Amino acid sequence: MKTQGKINLPRRYQRLLEIARHLASTLDLDVLLERIVHAAAELSGAQESSILLYDDIKKELHFEVATNMNQPLMRGIIVPVDSSLAGWIVINRKPVIIADTSQDERHFGRITQLTQIKTSSLVGVPLITKNKVIGVLEAINKRSGEFTTEDLGLLEAFAAQAAVAIENARLFQQSDLISELVHELRTPMASLSTAAHLLLRPDLPDEQRSRIVEIIHDETFRISDLASSFLDLARLESGRAQFRFELFDVRRLLEDCDGVMRSRAVEKGLNLILQLPPDLGHLKGDRDKLKQVVLNLLSNAIKYNSPNGTITLSAQRVAGELEISVTDTGPGISEAEQAHLFEKFYRTPGSEKVASGTGLGLSICKRIVEAHRGRITVQSKLGVGTTFTVSLPLDPLL
């Protein structure tokens, strides 16, 4: 019989086995991380739990998920490795139990200001797999009494299973992405191979030779763009993309986007309209990543619009949300195709004849918007045009 905040020892280990089996049932990293922190809080009798992932290249720790806060904000907080308990755990590869964090100089005190959550007691263990530290699992504020060595041992056993599950999920996502990337690379590589073969022919007319050089240039750019987009998506899907949340002026962001894309629209004979009310105010989010989303939507609207068409970038505050819309007067997208637009590497049939692309842009946009607890939707009518709308919460906790 389980009572709130306490599980007797045999039952706790029985529960550990049940949870470990449950972890192995998913390869979705976001779902997995949520399961881990909630299980860690349950097993240790803690009020809350969190996971910090370690970037070995940048030598940085950043919050990835927690039971007590929304995921986007946690991902925006970077914790110094050299002056934090989590950093100490990573460097020393050892667990800690802290009865009173205010008395421990290793505690990163600024985290309380950033999260508005007071940490009184803490137990933390390293996430280690294949002799590599990939992060830290923390349980915060014991519900009853103090954290014990039994809590620590249970959390260590659980962390060993969790680390393997996290790494497996990352590898699965990477292998899935890599296989798709290799498939997508075959077409430009085949074009480059054929072009190189033709250039070796001494009887090739100069006009055709110039055209082949243009093809090589275009395909090389396409491969570079594909690789860059692939890395962006891989970081987002693996949880390694870091979000830096700050309060920014929405109107200024959208005016910047308009300024970047206006000359490109003019070059294609398109009319770009900016429709912004005066009271857009501020939003807390990752400005650079949201700018990437808007620029991608504008770029698509320019690429796939009809001759002499119009693009409208607009925004409004509606029912606690900020809505940003990009509307074009292009050929439109069928309902059947709309269902696949946000899938990786998907391109609407015939679009490759109009403009080059990777088929990853909208997948990346969707990931970024969802990391802000928002959503991205599409409305389109054949022969009329298409509108993409990004809806972001104006929640002050974000």
Residues 288, 363: Cα–Cα separation, whole Å: 17
Summarised one tens digit per residue, pLDDT across range 245-270 is 889 999 999 999 999 999 899 999 99
pLDDT digits (tens, 9 = 90+) for 150-163: 899 989 999 998 99
Q: Distance (Å, rounded) from C-alpha 186 to C-alpha 158?
A: 42
**Element holding 1 (H helix, E strand):** none
Average pLDDT, the chain: 83
3-state secondary structure of 380: strand
The arithmetic mean of pLDDT across residues 142-157, rounded, is 91
Look at residue 29 in the predicted model and tell me its pLDDT: 82
Tally DSSP H helices, then E strands, for the chain: 11, 13
Which helix (H) or strand (E) covers residue 5, if one does?
none
Domain with CATH 3.30.450.40 in the chain: 9-170
The segment(s) of the chain belonging to CATH 3.30.565.10 are 244-398
So what's the architecture of 9-170 in CATH?
A: 2-Layer Sandwich (3.30)
SS3 assignment, position 26: coil
* Helices within 100-148 (DSSP H only): 110-115
Query: pLDDT digits over 180-217, tens only?
Result: 677 667 777 877 888 888 888 888 888 888 888 888 88
Whether the Cβ atoms of residue 351 and residue 341 lie closer than 8 Å to each other: no
Domain 244-398 -> CATH class = alpha beta
Residue 315: is its pLDDT beyond 90?
yes
